[in-house]
Amino acid sequence: MNRLSSILVVGVCQANHLGRILNAIPSVVSRFNVCAIELCADPITGEYRTPPPEILETCECVYFQRGTADVLPGYMERLIAQGKSQRFPIMFCQALWPAHTELQRKLPEPGLPWGRFPYCDRVLLDLLETGQEDSRIADRYLHTDLARMFDLDRLVELWRYQMEDADKSCDVVLAELQWREWRDTRHYWALSHPTNRLFGEVLRKLLARTIGPVAEEELLGSLRANELDQFMTPIHPSVARHFGLKWCSPDDLYAWPDGPFTIRQWALEHVRYTRRVLAMGDGTAAG
């Protein structure tokens, strides 16, 4: 019996999600083994994954996120040299979350290796240092004007430049689509967690360039069943107002562990979690 050919997807967490979508498309998995590899260390073990030998031996094409790593593993260098790689950009939008930061200290939990709040907010962290009680901090946060604290228009122009620059070295491009739609259509659940509007666009183009397009109903079914929305970071009301985001409402609910939350509930949970993290030692904000 002949072995199936394989499709390898390599990149950040977005590559894992693309792999999940591909593995839920019947006409793809009937012909290919799909393997997704994230080029970063496991947050618990510190180990890096590599594709199984049988995936590399039968690899027909690689979907590779440009800019994922400064130094590529040897197997990727070989596959690129063989002309099997199709490059697509890393997707992100800093401008919608200008206060985005991380805590140096994590509190891993079962099913949450990066902790309950992998994405944090500098404004909330600063308010926490005022010594006020949690509800007061959440209220002050919601009434803060981030457009006066951050140059949002400059951030958007920088984002556009970064997208267009990334497209120059990719086979699948996204800058024009994102720039045309971003005020009218939700493209991101969090800073680097795109919606399936973008994943669907990427996948249609990758498939067309390699194994051929799949039936649209199969692709749509897989997209509906798989969203990268486990952590939906709220858009601050002042940011939504400044940009005139048509898809964002103050009444939105955001998926999160133990959620969904309103933006105020999310802010309260954020403050309570951060207090626990800081109580463990020197867990301070990192840029």
Report CA 39 to chain centroid distance, whole Å.
14
| Token duo for residue 169 | 């070295």
Domain ranges of the chain: 5-90+192-225, 94-152+233-286
Minimal CA–CA distance to 134: which of 279, 275, 278?
A: 275
| Token duo for residue 114 | 């990066």
| Token duo for residue 48 | 């890096």
Superfamily classification of domain 5-90+192-225: Response regulator (3.40.50.2300)
Kindly give the confidence (pLDDT) of every residue in the chain, 287 residues in length, as a single tens digit, with 9 standing for 90 and above: 457 999 999 999 999 999 999 999 999 999 999 999 998 877 777 788 899 999 999 999 999 998 776 778 899 999 999 999 999 999 999 999 999 988 767 788 888 888 888 888 999 999 999 989 999 999 999 999 999 999 999 999 999 999 999 999 999 999 999 999 999 999 999 999 999 999 999 999 999 999 999 999 999 999 999 999 999 999 999 999 999 999 999 899 999 999 999 999 999 999 999 888 888 765 444 44
Give me the helix-helix angle, 216-225 and 13-22, nearest 10°. 130
**Helix residue ranges per DSSP H, the chain:** 13-22, 26-29, 53-57, 74-81, 122-128, 134-142, 146-149, 152-167, 175-181, 196-209, 216-225, 237-243, 263-279
- The DSSP symbol for 94 reads G
3-class secondary-structure state, position 63: strand
**Cα separation, 159 vs 60, whole angstroms:** 33
